[in-house]
Homo-oligomer: A and B are copies of this chain.
Amino acid sequence: SVNPDLASERQTASFSVEKLTALLDGGTEQTRIRRAVVEAIESDPVFSRENQYFQTQNERYEAAVRKAVHLQKKMHEMGWTENGPEYKYIYRALSGDVAFLLHRVFMRSISVLGSDKQIAKWIPLATQHKLIGSYAQTELGHGTYLQGLETTAVFDTANQEFILNTPKISAMKWWPGDMGRSATHTVVFAQLYIHGKCYGIHPFIVQIRSLQDHSLCPGVIAGDIGPKMNFEHIDNGYLLLKNVRIPRENMLSKFCEVRPDGTYVRQGSQKINYFTMTTVRISLIADEVLTPLMKACTIAIRYSVVRRQSKLKPGEQEAKILDYQTQQEKVLPQLATAYAFHFTNDYLQELFNRGYREIQRKNFDMLPELHALSSGFKAVITQHCTAGVEICLRACGGHGYSLLSGLPSLYTKILASCIYEGENTILLLQTARFLIKCFMAASAGQPVPPSVTYLAAVKHGKCPAKNKLDFLSPDIYTEAYQHVAVRLTSSTAAKLQDLIQSGVKKHDAWNQCTVQLVQAAKAHCHYIAVKNFAETVEKLETKAGIQKIMKHLCDLFALHGIFSNTGAFLHDGYTSAAQMDMVTASYLDLLAVIRKDAVPLVDAFDFTDKSLNSALGSSDGQVYQRLYQWAQRSPTNQMSPAYEKYLKPLLHNTLSKL
């Protein structure tokens, strides 16, 4: 039976939840396929995550391997293929709790970086799981800056082999997933040396474990890097190589080849490869970043209508905590953020599909823009969504702190997304570099890519809003965001110029501007996200109340951004103090409006109870029963040896005789 406090929230939805779900999925057919996949996965006990919060790192690893192996069988049974429509829902249905994800990266890197011959040899072996692959790039002392990698691969002409070495401890491979315990092979990135000359970083296929008994190969030292904040199910590993010899054919050689005599040959353009790395940043947004925030919102909002605390009106019963303005102000902007970035992701996917088509036609013009957008949005979306999950966790008070709420594991996992695939600050500076370049070009009247043409149109006007309702006009707020993005880019460009003109060296000047450059890059992405949300709402069908509620969320996303960052909008007087008060008033009004639809808005995300895996967020709202029943199953409720060993002697006072 559904908790009546939760049930009542569903009776007053202003829109069709089912229609909104279909919109998020991209159509009713997609919803049907997704649900079928979820049903098949969740009804299979091998994929259960029920005991996850009680398991050790070792148990999590073993379960993930078991699931990965079982998944092969399941896909065969269900007739799912890697190119089928179901495939993209499998990982989501498993909540990513499965091993061998790097095996796919191993295969992709061979497909992208390998010659036709290499592809023909290795891909079938990998597909049939005759080996387990990993991808060894990051080193203990080297991350983002690839040129700094220290592992070496020296070509030995006499034996037609590469000799791989880890020259010092900071050169150990560190972090590669599936490498700590599972992988038999890996793609190692190393500095290539031929006849004593360094040719820079290249990829090599290296076998690290025996295919017979899984023992480490000669010269290989590998293991697990130990406990982490999350990802207990993944055996992130270390790898140390001592004179490990591999045949010449194992250097992936689509773009660069070493001939038998040691001649080094470059061939073709690496731009497609560069594009592939860029798309990885976009591809992780849906599953690794948006889904956790959507889950956190579902949990926090359902809990907030079930939990009652203190009295809002004297004499009445205790109030649902979602009726407090401060609670609304915590969780509802996160809900708006989840929707906003869902649509941003659609926009980016479309842009990258277009980019891919252009690149296949050998037109690489879009690359710099795509790189800037993928870098900036990877950083901005991971940052906002991570902060959002943490806010949801804290908004649930003590119960949010229990692993059984599901929120801690969502937080500790999404946090990693701010670091992997490019640390956020470094990515934002890449975007900023593009912005500065485009701003200079635009100022000089040169053409710039579509997403930055607005930089050319520096306006010195004022925000035209006259009352608080004007701030519910997308034109008004989108223009305000645009103004801020232009101002931050242009003022930082000016500071950079001034420093250089005053004699500061270019690299020093750049470093002295980086805090402000990061601000400019964030403002650029925020502007595009707001603009895209507003344009998406514009195009939605007006039926079934969907457009109306999405418009509210768009307004909330935009006004929350202004309210949280008023200085940027007030700075040059574009927005006046009186207008800022209007923003605040409209923003607070919106909270009360969206609060009414809060539960239907999270119901539309369509998470099953099993996928939420949360005592606080289940669809029936029976929070307290679930917490109690679940806690009773905790291993901490088994007998502890601590009583006989320590408590009994203490209580029976042997201690005082010490």
Contacts and interface: CB of A to CB of B under 8 A. Distances in A.
Interface of A: 53-54, 56-58, 61-62, 65-66, 68-69, 72-73, 76, 128-132, 138, 140-145, 148, 169-170, 172, 174-175, 180-182, 184, 211, 214, 223-229, 235, 238, 307-314, 318, 323-327, 329-330, 390, 394, 397-398, 400-404, 408, 412, 415-416, 418-420, 423, 425, 429, 505, 507-508, 511-516, 518, 565-573, 577, 580, 584, 588, 624-625, 627-628, 630-638, 640-643, 645-651, 653, 655-656, 658
A57 B635 contact: yes
Report how many copies the assembly holds.
Answer: 2
Contacts of A308: 141, 148
A612 B633 CA distance: 34
A650 B69 CA distance: 7
A620 to B, nearest CB: 14
Main secondary structure of the interface of A (DSSP, over half): helix
Given A73-B658, A148-B309, A312-B507, A636 B404 contact: no
Contact of A631 (B225, B312, B313, B627): B225
A537 to B, nearest CB: 25
Contacts of A648: 214
A229 B403 contact: yes
A309 B169 contact: no
Contacts of A73: 655, 658
Nearest to A644: B214
A214 to B, nearest CB: 5
B514 A132 contact: no
A132 B651 CA distance: 8
A385 B643 CA distance: 37
A172 B628 contact: yes
A54 B227 contact: yes
Given A142-B309, A577-B572, A226 B169 contact: no
* Residue from the set A65, A226, A566, A588 with the largest chain B CB neighbour count within 10 Å: A226
B512 A632 contact: no
B394 A419 contact: yes
Contact of A310 (B144, B400, B505, B655): B144
